[in-house]
Amino acid sequence: MAYSKKIFDKATEKLNFRRNSALNMVEYRKKELYSAFPRLNEIEKTLGEIGAQTAKSVLNGSSAIDELKLLKEKSIALQNEYKAILTENGYAEDYLEPHFSCEKCGDTGYVELENKTVTCECYKKLLSDTACEELNKISPLSLSTFDSFELGYYSGNPDENGKIPYNRMVKILKHCADYAHNFSLSSKGLLLMGSTGLGKTHLSLAIANEVIQKGYSVVYVSAPDILSKLEREHFAYGYSEKEQIMNSLLDCDLLILDDLGTEFVTQFTSTAIYNIFNSRINAGKPVIINTNLTVDELGKVYTKRFTSRLTSSCEQLEFIGRDIRALL
């Protein structure tokens, strides 16, 4: 998977911070305990000396077998004494060992596998999450919650179609809150439809916030912005971020596309939307799409193949009422 130097540098910085934090905690604890129990410091120094003596004895070969045996026994006895001092004073045996975020690689980002050094899964995830964070910088992910969604803006009177906006939005709010609360990688997608200013962005951002708090990776992007960026990168000379952006869109646990249908539609953008959506659906990954268009209008802007896949893979929530912003 291709990432820019900026992503690698940021992810590596985070990884180094994790490792250094674990090592610094060990030093802090050692300083604290060695002051209270000086014998621990004496044992550590003696074990270091034994290690040096052992190395010399190994170089002497078979003539040092008895010496190596004695050094090993002395080392084991000292290690047991060290652990006993800790446990007898209420500390775990591994209290002075580093506790890394990833025990597999020790927060180095790499592991030995079949005599090869390979990238650890934790580092791959960190790279992916960092790329998602960079992509999310263009969206207001922290602005909305379910509690701040104001139902009072929706009328309790029937509209021209005989539907009561307030009743509809009560149900939609509950549905979105339940969706976020129960979110998993097998969740179905959502298609939020309705005119501008009815709360689609607010509720999808509220979903994003809660899903992120559950530990999932979320990418929230404006369709016009991200498609414009992809198109520019597609035709750019030199380094292109297109592959990195596409990886983030396809690999995140939840993708939210806002304002679909308001972008300038070209053959490229139409194909890109279908490929992004289709790839995620084929991989069993949920998508939330916000649009001001109806299903029929989406079919005219894109293709019937796209809308057919969209409606069969996503639950449809139709927002109704008056533009909230006009009421403020």
Segment 253-278, tens digit of pLDDT: 899 998 888 877 778 888 888 888 88
Greater confidence, 66 or 276? 276
Q: Is residue 17 part of a domain?
A: yes
Which tops the pLDDT comparison, 268 or 62? Answer: 268
Same domain? 87 vs 142 = no
Q: What is the mean pLDDT of residues 106-131?
A: 87
- Distance separating alpha carbons of residues 94 and 166, to the nearest angstrom: 58
Residues 119-146, mean pLDDT to the nearest whole number? 76
3-state secondary structure 13-31: HHHHHHHHHHHHHHHHHHH
Does residue 116 lie in a domain region? Answer: no
Q: What is the pLDDT of residue 304?
A: 82
More confident residue, 264 or 90: 90
**Does residue 66 sit in the same domain as residue 185?**
no
Which residue has 């790839």 as its token pair? 279
pLDDT for the residue 235 = 62
Please tell me the predicted confidence (pLDDT) of residue 271.
84
Token pair listed for 57: 């004895």
Across 146-160, 166-180, 242-256, least confident range? 242-256
Domain-embedded: residue 263 = yes
Residue 75 belongs to a domain: yes
Name residue, tokens 């008895």.
Answer: 66
Name the pTM for this structure. Answer: 0.64
Quickly state the pLDDT bin for 28 (edges 50, 70, 90). Answer: very high
Residue 128 is assigned to a structural domain of this protein: no
Q: Which two tokens mark 12? A: 């590596």
Residue 213 DSSP one-character state? H
Owning domain of residue 31: 5-102
Supply the pLDDT for residue 39: 93
256 and 160 in one domain? yes
Tell whether 286 and 170 lie within a shared domain.
yes
CATH number, domain of 227, equals 3.40.50.300
Q: Are residues 316 and 200 in the same domain?
A: yes
C-alpha R_g of the chain = 29
pLDDT at 326 over 70: no
pLDDT over 70 at 22, yes or no: yes
143 is a domain residue: yes
73 plus 180 within the same structural domain: no
The rounded distance, in Å, linking the Cα atoms of 183 and 214 is: 9
- Res. 243: pLDDT tops 90: no
- Does the pLDDT at position 21 exceed 80? yes
Residue 203's pLDDT is what? 94
DSSP H or E stretch at residue 246? helix 242-251
Predicted confidence at residue 139, as pLDDT, reads: 62
Say what the pLDDT of residue 1 is: 45
Same-domain check for residues 157 and 284: yes
Residues 78 and 179 in one domain: no
Both 201 and 54 in a single domain? Answer: no
**What is the total count of domains within the chain?**
2
Average pLDDT, the chain: 84
- Give the residue from 55, 79, 102 where a domain finishes: 102
Query: Is residue 21, in this structure, part of any structural domain at all?
Result: yes
Domain end (from 80, 102, 124): 102
CB-CB contact of 151 with 234 (8 Å): no
pLDDT above 90: percentage of residues in the chain:
35
Q: How far apart are CA 228 and CA 274, in angstroms?
A: 15
Q: How confident is the model at residue 328 (pLDDT cuts 50, 70, 90)?
A: low
Tokens representing residue 160 in the block: 């021209």
d(CA 44, CA 91): 17
Whether 131 is in a domain gets the answer no
Determine the length of the chain.
328
Residues 69 and 215 reside in one and the same domain: no
Note the pLDDT tens digit of each residue in 93-115: 889 889 999 999 999 999 988 88
Of 207, 308, 291, which is closest to residue 254 (Cα–Cα)?
207
Q: What is the pLDDT of residue 225?
A: 82
- pLDDT score at 218: 85
Confidence of residue 239 (pLDDT cuts 50, 70, 90): very low
Residues 265 and 181 both lie in one domain: yes
User: CA-CA distance, 121 to 149, in Å (whole number)?
Assistant: 38
Per DSSP (E only), the strands in the chain are 110-113, 116-119, 189-193, 218-222, 254-260, 287-291, 314-318
Report pLDDT digits (tens) over 296-307: 888 888 888 888
Q: Within this chain, do residues 97 and 199 fall inside the same structural domain, yes or no?
A: no
What was the pLDDT predicted at 172? 95
